[in-house]
Structures are given as structure tokens and as C-alpha cells.
Chains A and B, each alone.
Chain A
């Protein structure tokens, strides 16, 4: 995909997201003019950008949406949920189309029909009875609605209708960084402008030079939509009137001034496009597109292009066409001299205009594809692994180097490289950090649609959306959160009548809370619904044979709740199309664990449910504690390790088949890793090495052969045949070239019991 198209897709996605958010906010407060303006601007920008490419269904649909928004903005059409529905549908459709553009650089064949139907529905809302339809700006004939030339505007050398813009910036414009005069001076097609002074100036001593007192009137030959785009950021401070001079004769035979200016601009842009793409591989594409543009311009100004396009040398034909068009578009001399004549000297105007436009503001943001950052991250990871080889090197040198000088130097170098690679890694991590709001704001829509469908009244509250985490983690989180929110809406929150009957506010609340806790990011999904019925969960788990009665008898209520994460448990009798068949919570838990997080649930019957997910800030480089089991080295994520202890085998207590040990007044179940991995038994050792790990809030002790130092490693997921071994979360390469298997602790603890 060419860079321009890729940028269009990326920007449009951002704009659609912003527009969706504004729409949902508007539904809460339809009077919020700021939101309407923001929404209008977003849609307007998408339309403008789409027009650059040949995606007419997209442009057409968004144009209809823009017109609808314009009437809403003007107060002609009220903003209702039905209007929001259609507009949201339009945004969804745009997302689909952008997907298509991204995949195949074109829209599917059915796009035209879908676009037409959708535009009709959007326009039907504008044309609803009693509501005046807004004419399409670019297509309306300006002369038909043009007003007579106002007295305060001098006669100007223009033909046909032009636009008179009245721009009254707010008094505080300077404080928001605006320079209205610059905006006026850079207006497209500007012919004349005037500073409108206030009715009375304050005395020089009372004058506050940082408040704006003046306004502007200006005349432009540019089409109105171009002017609207130019003034889009101050749209509420600008009014437009189409005016035409009183003595204006028939413009028959001559090209309309607006059209001429537009055609001329197009010609200039096509020239620069051709000049810029000389040696590019996209040249063919470029010349073809220029040819199409020129043909359309010619059609618009009724000029016949000769000769026919020479497919062997399109550039030559295009050059001829440009000369032909250039000559045709040259402006005829004004017949009557205007009141204000301007001397016909070679102007240095463009130069001064450039200077007046003051220093250009450099864009301080870079849009880089995440693949490039991933590549950088992988390289930094490799560097960290390579660095890990240095201690091995030092060890080797120790045996050969008697003075120890070489060893010292290797260690010193290791420290330096260690520091730099850690800084490099954290710098890259910073780039990859994105705020949670990137996904959390999306669920507004989900909550709205579901609550409408189910007839429940729900407010969605997000707290701590600025909390940042690695992009990979944030992206992976989207799916689990969707499940959790759906569950809350479908199973948790009651309908308004039930809620009122149980003395709760009519409107239920779903609260998503994000915050950072040490090296992790915590995400809580809370609802104030009916909570989870622990007895029902236990009964279901027994019925499905997921647990046995014995285990249930010994279970604390908090532990019993965790049963909802077991595969195949659903407490709702009928299956709903919204949250599926009870695979939700199981899927959520496994998704969270897959990215190295843990999940727990807390619920109070009648009061609500809280689900807490704790996730690593980043998935890239992890610190692992190495342990030895039967001659093999294994890694355990260090944030899961609670403590490492040597215990006497006599301190182990046994209950049936289970072994446990009391450490610091806590009873910790033990897992003999050797027997789990089917390693041959060794003669009974009196002292055992126990690593206590925390899995989903529950502690277990792993009996291993030996502890080894910690290591920074990148865990790569298991691939191929190995991927079916659930008890490993992945592999990591060690500095000496050996492979370390990272243990999937949840699975290991599960294995112990099954």
C-alpha cells in the first residue's frame, strides 16, 4: 500500500474512534455543542481525505453523514438515539471499508449499493417532514442563491458568485494560540479582506492588547466547502454568504471563477505530483492518476483534450494536455476596471505570504508502525541475551587467566553493556507504552448497544484510563474485557424494575478501573448487579463433574467463586446470544494467563461482582529465576516467586496423597517437581529446596533440586509439536547457547491435582 493511502487509513481510523466517542457523549448530553462540532469536524476530515482517493461509496456516505450533522449543528434536526444509531452504523461501515482498503486497496463490489442505501437513510433523516433540507454545498448552483453585492465590500476583479466570509474571533483567541490575521491571510482564493474595528476602541491606556477586539470580512473565490475546511477550527465564529455583483453579466462562454480557480489549483498540484515522482517505482500509477484528473478537469470546464492518451509515452500526452488546459484556464482580462486597480507588476506576494505565515511549526509526533518498534524491541532483546554470555565468558577466562586482569575487564565491560542495554530496553518500552484509554473508550459503544438490546439502563465508568502498559498487553486485554463487560451486562446487572424493587438506583453501573501496582498493571471490572450465587456455582460445578463433593466441603466461599474460571461452567440456564455458552470466564482466564497475568473474582450476592486482573507491564524481557529439576534447567517468572526456602523433609505433613509444609504460619501445599516430570527418584535427601510461588492468589511450594541465579530472558512461545505441552509457557535462549524452558505455573499446579 502506498504511504499516502496507509496514512489515510490510519488517520481515518483515529477519526472514526474520536467520532464514535463524541456520538456516545452526545447521547448523554445532546446539547453539548462542543461535541457536535468535534463530531462534525472528524466526519468532515474523513470526507475530505476520502475524496483524495477513488472510494466514492465511502465519500458519498460520509458526505451524507456530514450533511446530517450540519443540520443537527444548526439545530434543524434534533439529535436522538435513532439518529445516533444510523450515524454509528455509518462509522461501522466506514471501518469495514477501511479494512477492505487496507487488505486490497479497493472496496468490495457491493460497496456502491451499501453506500447508496446508507446515504439515503442518512439523508432521509435530514429530509424528515418539517425539516428543511440542506442543499449539497458543492453541487448547488451558487448564482441561484447569491445575495447582492454588499455596500461595504468594494468592487473586485472577480467574475460570477464569490463567498463573503465574516469572521468574528472570540475575545480570547490569542490565549488559545490563534493568530486570526494569519488564518485570514492564508484563506484559499482570497481576493480582498478588511479588518472590522470594534464600535468604539478603548482608550490607549485601558487597551488590553492581549484581548482581541477586531473582526474580519473577506471575499474569496474558493468553493465554500474549501473555505469551511479552512475555517473548520473556528467554525462557530465564521459565517458565509454567497454574493454576486449587481452588474454582473451573463457568464456564458466564460468559465466560472470558482471552477477556474479550482481547475487551476488542480493543474498546479498535478504538475508538482509529476515532478516529484520521476524515478519512483509508482510512476505508472502516478501518471495514470494524473491523466484521469486532467480528463475530469477538462470535462468540468468543457474543453476537449487532444490528442488521445499515448499509452507508450503517457507523460508526453499529459504535458500537451497541461499546456492546452493552462491556456484555456488563463483568466480573461477584466472588461471594466474595478474601483481599486492594482498595478500589474511581477508580484513578490507569494514570498511575503510565506514570511507572514511565520515560522512553520514542526510536528513533534511520529507515526511509526508497531512492526518497526517490535523489530527494535527484538533486537534489544537479543542484545540482552548476548550480554548474558559475558558472565560465562568471565568464568571461562578465570580458569585461564592467572592474574585475573582479563576477568576484571570482562566484568567491567559486562557492567557497561548491561547498563546500556537496560537503558535501551526501557527507552523502547517507553515508546511501546500506550494508555489504557485506547481500548477502554471503545467499550462505551458495546455497553450502549447491549443495554439498548436488553432494555437495561447502564452507565459505563472508566477510571484511570491514562494508566499505561505495553501495547501488546493492552491489545491482548481488549478481548477479555469484552467478555467481562458482556457477562456483567447479561448476567450481572438487573433490569431497571428489578433494581428499583431491591432499592438500587435504576441505572446500573459498570466500572472499569486501571492502575499501576509495582511492576504490574491492574485492571478491575466492577458491576453493582446481583452478584454471583456461590451455591449455584458449586451446584453446577458438581453437576458437571468439575469438582468432587470432598473438595467442595473444604472450600472457602472465596475459593468456590474461583470455580467460575473452570472450563464449561455456566450458571445461566438459557444460552444468550450475547455472552455465549459459559465459555466466557474460562476463556478470559486463559487469555489473561497466556499473557502472564493472573485473575481473581470477588462477588457479594445482591451487591455486585469485582473481577481483578493483574498483568505484567510488558511482555518483552522477563526476569526469570532458574531452578534445576533432574538435570534440566527451568525458569520461573520472578514476580511469581514468593520465597525460596530449604526445609527439612521431616517438616512435611501428609494428608492422604497431599504433602504440605507450614511456613511462617501458612500451610503451603507442595508439588514434587521430580515426580511430576517423571524423573528417576534420588536417594532421600534430608534438606529439600522449596520455591514458593503465587498462582492466582494461591501459594504452592515447588520442590526442586537446586536454585540457580536469576536471568533476563525473552520468552518465546512454544511452536510446532512443542506447543501442545501446556506445562511450559515458552522457551528462552541463555547466554551460553542453552535453552531454558519457562514453566507455566497455573498448569503445573493443575497437573498436580489431576
Chain B
């Protein structure tokens, strides 16, 4: 199961597909202030990213990353890291 939910945190692991929005959306409605932890999330469908931004979800584990999770930080911007 890529999403584990409890009252104070949603833990996203692996790739989160568009179908998972069905689970995540109601949870975010019920727990608008709880955190969504993406530390172990390797990828997500556009719909998932959009949902997290639209609901202003409190995202943990995105700050300081260099992959797609940058979109979940303030400004929703993504910078490609210069290859060494």
C-alpha cells in the first residue's frame, strides 16, 4: 500500500498513482492540518501533486530535495541539478 493514513499523518511511499487520489482527497478534507510525509515517495501522478498544492497540505520531507518533490515546496518550482 503506497499510502498509510492515520489521524496526524499520511505517509506516501513509492509511486503514487492517480487512483490514490480517491483515498488521499477525503483524508485531506477530514484532516486539513495533518502532515503528508513524502520522504519515501519516489514519484507521483500530476493529480496527486495538484491535490497537495490545491489543498495547501502540510508537506513534510520535500524541503531540500532535488527531485520532483521540489514542486511541493513554496513557489512550486523545480530546478534541475547541474550534472557534475
Quick one: which of B44, B51, B68, B79 has the most chain A CB within 10 A?
A: B79
Chain B contacts to A: CB under 8 angstroms: 15, 17-18, 21, 25, 28-29, 32, 42-47, 49-51, 53-55, 66-68, 71, 75-84
CA of A173 to CA of B18, assembled, Å? 12
Cβ-defined contact, B15 with A355, below 8 A: yes
Cβ-defined contact, A201 with B54, below 8 A: yes
Residues of A within 8 A of B76 (CB): 194-195, 197
Q: Which 10 pairs, one residue from A and one from B, show the smallest C-beta to C-beta distance?
A: A356-B43, A195-B76, A181-B46, A352-B67, A355-B42, A209-B21, A194-B77, A347-B81, A193-B78, A209-B51
CA of A194 to CA of B75, assembled, Å? 8
Cβ-defined contact, B84 with A204, below 8 A: no
CA of A349 to CA of B81, assembled, Å? 8
Q: Is A616 an interface residue (CB 8 A)?
A: no
Q: Is A404 an interface residue (CB 8 A)?
A: no
Given A179-B45, A194-B76, 16 more A-B residue pairs with CB atoms under 8 Å apart are A181-B68, A185-B68, A185-B78, A190-B80, A192-B77, A192-B78, A195-B50, A197-B76, A204-B29, A205-B29, A209-B47, A214-B50, A344-B82, A347-B81, A349-B67, A355-B15
How would residues 258 to 292 of chain A score, 1 for a CB under 8 Å from any chain B CB and 0 otherwise?
00000000000000000000000000000000000
Q: Which of A181-230 contact B (CB under 8 A)?
A: 181-182, 185, 190-195, 197, 201-202, 204-205, 207, 209-210, 212-214
How would residues 349 to 363 of chain A score, 1 for a CB under 8 Å from any chain B CB and 0 otherwise?
100110111110000
Residues of B within 8 A of A210 (CB): 18, 21, 47
CA of A237 to CA of B60, assembled, Å? 32
Residues of B within 8 A of A349 (CB): 66-67, 80-81, 83
Shortest distance in angstroms between B67's beta carbon and chain A's nearest beta carbon? 4
Cβ-defined contact, A352 with B68, below 8 A: yes
CA of A204 to CA of B76, assembled, Å? 19
Cβ-defined contact, B21 with A347, below 8 A: no
Cβ-defined contact, B47 with A174, below 8 A: yes
Q: Is A669 an interface residue (CB 8 A)?
A: no
Cβ-defined contact, B53 with A353, below 8 A: no
How would residues 716 to 751 of chain A score, 1 for a CB under 8 Å from any chain B CB and 0 otherwise?
000000000000000000000000000000000000
Q: Which of A323-364 contact B (CB under 8 A)?
A: 340, 342-349, 352-353, 355-359
CA of A583 to CA of B55, assembled, Å? 76
CA of A358 to CA of B54, assembled, Å? 23
- Closest-by-CB residue of A relative to B77 is A194
Cβ-defined contact, A358 with B15, below 8 A: yes
Cβ-defined contact, B42 with A356, below 8 A: yes
Residues of B within 8 A of A185 (CB): 68, 78
CA of A210 to CA of B51, assembled, Å? 9
CA of A343 to CA of B79, assembled, Å? 11
Q: Is A157 an interface residue (CB 8 A)?
A: yes
CA of A60 to CA of B54, assembled, Å? 47
CA of A164 to CA of B71, assembled, Å? 18
Cβ-defined contact, B84 with A347, below 8 A: yes
Shortest distance in angstroms between B26's beta carbon and chain A's nearest beta carbon? 10
Given A181-B68, A209-B51, A349-B66, CB of A174 within 8 Å of CB of B78:
no
Chain A contacts to B: CB under 8 angstroms: 154, 156-157, 173-174, 178-182, 185, 190-195, 197, 201-202, 204-205, 207, 209-210, 212-214, 340, 342-349, 352-353, 355-359
- The majority secondary structure among interface residues of chain A is loop
Residues of B within 8 A of A344 (CB): 82, 84
CA of A579 to CA of B21, assembled, Å? 63
Cβ-defined contact, B46 with A204, below 8 A: no
Shortest distance in angstroms between A741's beta carbon and chain B's nearest beta carbon? 64
CA of A191 to CA of B15, assembled, Å? 23
CA of A209 to CA of B80, assembled, Å? 27
Cβ-defined contact, B49 with A353, below 8 A: no
CA of A258 to CA of B82, assembled, Å? 15
- Closest-by-CB residue of B relative to A178 is B46
Cβ-defined contact, A207 with B82, below 8 A: no
Residues of B within 8 A of A359 (CB): 15
Given A194-B76, A194-B77, A210-B21, CB of A347 within 8 Å of CB of B83:
yes
Residues of A within 8 A of B51 (CB): 207, 209
Cβ-defined contact, B50 with A356, below 8 A: no
Cβ-defined contact, A195 with B66, below 8 A: no
Given A344-B84, A347-B66, CB of A357 within 8 Å of CB of B49:
no
Cβ-defined contact, B42 with A352, below 8 A: yes
Residues of B within 8 A of A204 (CB): 28-29, 32, 54-55
Shortest distance in angstroms between B84's beta carbon and chain A's nearest beta carbon? 6
Residues of A within 8 A of B83 (CB): 347, 349
CA of A693 to CA of B40, assembled, Å? 76
- Closest-by-CB residue of B relative to A220 is B80
Cβ-defined contact, B46 with A180, below 8 A: yes
Given A352-B67, A357-B43, CB of A154 within 8 Å of CB of B53:
no
Residues of B within 8 A of A174 (CB): 18, 46-47
- Closest-by-CB residue of A relative to B15 is A358
Shortest distance in angstroms between A209's beta carbon and chain B's nearest beta carbon? 4
Residues of A within 8 A of B17 (CB): 358
Residues of B within 8 A of A343 (CB): 81
The 5 sampled A-B contact pairs (Cβ below 8 Å) are: A174-B47, A181-B68, A190-B80, A209-B21, A355-B15
Shortest distance in angstroms between B31's beta carbon and chain A's nearest beta carbon? 11
CA of A421 to CA of B2, assembled, Å? 48
Residues of A within 8 A of B53 (CB): 195, 197, 214
Residues of A within 8 A of B80 (CB): 190-192, 349
CA of A38 to CA of B23, assembled, Å? 38
Partner of B54, one of A157, A181, A207, A353: A207
CA of A353 to CA of B43, assembled, Å? 9
Residues of A within 8 A of B43 (CB): 352, 355-358
Shortest distance in angstroms between B83's beta carbon and chain A's nearest beta carbon? 6
Residues of A within 8 A of B15 (CB): 355-356, 358-359
Given A154-B77, A185-B68, A201-B54, CB of A342 within 8 Å of CB of B82:
yes
Residues of B within 8 A of A173 (CB): 46
Cβ-defined contact, A193 with B84, below 8 A: no
- Closest-by-CB residue of A relative to B83 is A347
Residues of B within 8 A of A194 (CB): 75-78
Residues of B within 8 A of A348 (CB): 66
Partner of A212, one of B32, B42, B46, B71: B46
Cβ-defined contact, B25 with A207, below 8 A: yes
Shortest distance in angstroms between A350's beta carbon and chain B's nearest beta carbon? 8
CA of A246 to CA of B34, assembled, Å? 43
Shortest distance in angstroms between A619's beta carbon and chain B's nearest beta carbon? 48
Partner of B49, one of A154, A181, A190, A355: A181
Shortest distance in angstroms between B36's beta carbon and chain A's nearest beta carbon? 14
Shortest distance in angstroms between B17's beta carbon and chain A's nearest beta carbon? 8
Shortest distance in angstroms between A177's beta carbon and chain B's nearest beta carbon? 10
CA of A180 to CA of B25, assembled, Å? 20
CA of A340 to CA of B49, assembled, Å? 23
CA of A344 to CA of B25, assembled, Å? 37
